[in-house]
Amino acid sequence: MFAPEMKILISIQYFSLLMSAVFTAGGWYIKDIQFGLSVLLGAVLVNVSFWMLKRDSAKILDRVAESNSDEVRAVQKLERIRFIFKFYAKLIVLGLVLYAVSTRMQLNMIGVALGLSTVMLSVFIVVLGGGRKVYFLQSTGGV
């Protein structure tokens, strides 16, 4: 159904959402509601950013794959420039959203940082778990 790369990305997204929920609930329970909301804000920002980055990457690959062999270089260059522009534009918008929210309400910056780390931690955990499976299959002769 899905390519192995897509399965990994989907696993990262689901695991990140799960970690976001656990960190938010745990922060709210252990510390207070302000900490939980700060974790939730950071997690929402980073998960939306990751989802948009995944979507943009897939679009680039589709456009390059659909281009004629004569125009591949031109399409690659155009898509690279478009991707970089959109990446930095989204980064600025997400930074402005974080700034706007932080001026309207009190945020716990440790909570925001914890929320922002959910995708990174998910990548480490999913990739290390997947790498362990691949190593196990290779060492047992399963591949």
| Bigger pLDDT: 126 vs 3 | 126
Instruction: Give pTM, 2 decimals.
Output: 0.76
> Are the C-beta atoms of residues 69 and 54 closer than 8 Å to each other?
no
Region 112-133: mean pLDDT is 84
pLDDT in tens, 59-89: 877 777 777 777 777 777 888 888 889 889 9
Longest dimension (CA), the chain: 60
* Predicted pLDDT of residue 20: 92
> What CA–CA distance (Å, rounded) separates 38 from 80?
34
> Are the C-beta atoms of residues 57 and 12 closer than 8 Å to each other?
no
> What CA–CA distance (Å, rounded) separates 16 from 113?
14
> Are the C-beta atoms of residues 19 and 50 closer than 8 Å to each other?
no
- Domain boundaries in the chain? 4-134
Give the amino acid at 30: I
* Predicted pLDDT of residue 26: 92
pLDDT in tens, 37-54: 999 999 999 999 888 888
